[in-house]
Amino acid sequence: MVERTSKFLLIVAISVCFMLILYQYVGPGLSLGSPSGRSYSEELDLFPTPDPHYVKKYYFPVRELERELAFDMKGEDVIVFLHIQKTGGTTFGRHLVQNVRLEVPCDCRPGQKKCTCYRPNRRETWLFSRFSTGWSCGLHADWTELTNCVPGVLDRRESAAAKTPR
């Protein structure tokens, strides 16, 4: 008799758990009403009114966000990729050297983390990133370190390339 009672209680407990899980997943999609008395669509206001005490710290005008810049790979332009930790920067930096379709693709050799990315008409780099030049300006250099370091590193690389016989 005790065995029958325990089986019955187990079935009831499993049924209650199943119903609770079912209600949590299916219930919000149904219009069963909400505890606050408002409809479900009113509670999901995607654009709530802004906090009147919030002060915008940074302002980016629309014309700045929508501006287009011409990048001349055959000229003197250089892309400096600022790698920021925990933002997908490693994936994007690797994508720049491996997957972008270029006239002269970057030369990535197996087993090496660095790739050589030369301009189509000469042996100068057009990309300054961790995957093309390594950690030339230090580990995880920030904006100020890069602006002070990049011109000198590029000058050294160009002068070294000019000294090697072709």
Provide the β-strand partners of residue 107: 116
CA distance 124 to 74: 10
Per-residue b or e along 75-98, where b marks 16 or more CB atoms closer than 10 Å to that residue's CB: eeebeebebeeeeebeeebbebbe
Strands 115-116, 127-128: pairing is unpaired
Q: How many residues does the chain have?
A: 166
Active-site positions?
140
Tokens 């710290």 map to which residue?
Answer: 57
